[in-house]
Copies of this chain bind each other. A is one copy, B any other.
Amino acid sequence: MALDPTTDTVALTEALVDIESVSLNEQPIADAIEVALRPFAHLEVIRIGNSLVARTNLARGERVVIAGHVDTVPVHDNLPCRNDGTLLHGLGTCDMKGGVAVALNLAATVPEPNRDVTYVFYEAEEIAAVHNGLRKIAEVRPELLSADFAILMEPSEAAIEAGCQGTLRVDVVARGERAHSARAWRGVNAIHQAAEILRRLNEYDARRPVIDGLEYHEGLNAVLINGGVAANVLPDEVVVTVNYRFAPDRSEEEALDFVRTFFDGFEVTVTDSAPGAMPGLDLPAAKAFVATVGGDVKPKFGWTDVARFTGLGIPAVNFGPGDPSLAHKQEEHVPIAQIRQCEQTLRAWLAAS
């Protein structure tokens, strides 16, 4: 299906949603976006895998990235898109084709922005980081991402969410010694040993540091617990998978130190780790954007590719239509008004003299 990037952003969102693009199956949507952008002489279009970079080259004194991923989580009986007049319903409406539609429309219809813009439409954000399109661009053509500021159009209810919390996942293991449950005194029950792990979790007091005026909110939670051999055997091992969400004033190393100390006496194995991102609202490009958008800036609790930009030395914020808590839900939807609001805000910002 051909996309018209100059059309209304709501119609464009619907068209993007109807091109199914579950992670690792982004070729059709990448083809459609590439075909839609190639005709515009004001854009340099580069394709890397199933990701696209479209850049203005106006030699402005400042360059900003406006980025969104084009993939979705798996289909769950929630396609095609449905428009009820107020909301668009369906897979990817919220996470994040509403934001992608806004970026695509601006790319096509703002030929002479007041700052150079690098639009990035990238693949494979919803799966393991090794596939991530933004990461691949940063590896093979890092100069393409060079910028003073980045706006990631992840859902944030059309408000600015700055920074993001890091995430660390560890397996905490309690051990025992097997025995038949009819003669329990001959063994050591690993599940009973795990009581201490859970006791400590219940006593955890969450840090809520204020950074650049934003209050973050950490969390330390058991997300999975598994143990047991058979219904008549005392188990010798229980694994409690714990997820630590940490404010961006802590490094990954500091986060791990905290968790190791917290679970002192138990085996702790890291299974996943990603750094947070400082809000960086004191940097000039960020300040200017905040002033244009107005309203309250909120901290980002979840992890997004904002942290990837921060890692590249580029201050970045989330700013996109949709409620982030609806992401990955079967019933995800996006308010039409928020799509229009994001479009108008960014258009005004890119047009201001």
Chain A residues within CB distance 8 Å of chain B: 165, 167, 169, 180-186, 189, 191-192, 194-195, 198-199, 201-202, 206, 217, 219, 221-235, 238, 240-241, 243, 245, 271-272, 301-303, 325
Q: How far is the CA of A325 from the CA of B240 in the complex (A)?
A: 30
Indicate whether A243 sits within 8 Å of B235 (C-beta atoms), given known contacts A182-B219, A189-B222, A224-B227: no
Report whether A224 and B217 are in contact in the complex, using a CB–CB cutoff of 8 Å: no
Q: How far is the CA of A311 from the CA of B182 in the complex (A)?
A: 20
Tell me which residues across on chain B come within 8 A of A217, comparing CB atoms: 183, 185
Q: How far is the CA of A323 from the CA of B254 in the complex (A)?
A: 52
Instruction: State the Cβ distance, A139 to closest chain B Cβ, in Å.
Output: 25
Indicate whether A184 sits within 8 Å of B245 (C-beta atoms), given known contacts A192-B198, A222-B191: yes
* 10 interchain residue pairs of minimum CB distance: A224-B228, A195-B198, A184-B219, A191-B222, A182-B302, A182-B301, A181-B243, A225-B227, A191-B225, A184-B221
Report whether A225 and B223 are in contact in the complex, using a CB–CB cutoff of 8 Å: no
Q: How far is the CA of A199 from the CA of B241 in the complex (A)?
A: 19
Number of identical monomers bound together in the oligomeric complex: 2
Chain B residue nearest in CB terms to A300: B182
* Majority secondary structure, A binding face: mixed
Report whether B192 and A245 are in contact in the complex, using a CB–CB cutoff of 8 Å: no
Q: How far is the CA of A211 from the CA of B209 in the complex (A)?
A: 62
Report whether B189 and A195 are in contact in the complex, using a CB–CB cutoff of 8 Å: no
Report whether A228 and B226 are in contact in the complex, using a CB–CB cutoff of 8 Å: yes
Q: How far is the CA of A301 from the CA of B186 in the complex (A)?
A: 12
Report whether B224 and A225 are in contact in the complex, using a CB–CB cutoff of 8 Å: no
Q: How far is the CA of A243 from the CA of B241 in the complex (A)?
A: 24
Tell me which residues across on chain B come within 8 A of A195, comparing CB atoms: 195, 198-199, 201-202
Chain B residue nearest in CB terms to A222: B191
Report whether B226 and A225 are in contact in the complex, using a CB–CB cutoff of 8 Å: yes
Chain B residue nearest in CB terms to A201: B192
Q: How far is the CA of A169 from the CA of B233 in the complex (A)?
A: 12
Report whether B180 and A302 are in contact in the complex, using a CB–CB cutoff of 8 Å: yes
Contact of A221 among B165, B234, B238, B243 (CB under 8 A): B234
Instruction: State the Cβ distance, A248 to closest chain B Cβ, in Å.
Output: 13
Report whether A228 and B241 are in contact in the complex, using a CB–CB cutoff of 8 Å: yes
Q: How far is the CA of A217 from the CA of B186 in the complex (A)?
A: 12
Q: How far is the CA of A301 from the CA of B232 in the complex (A)?
A: 12
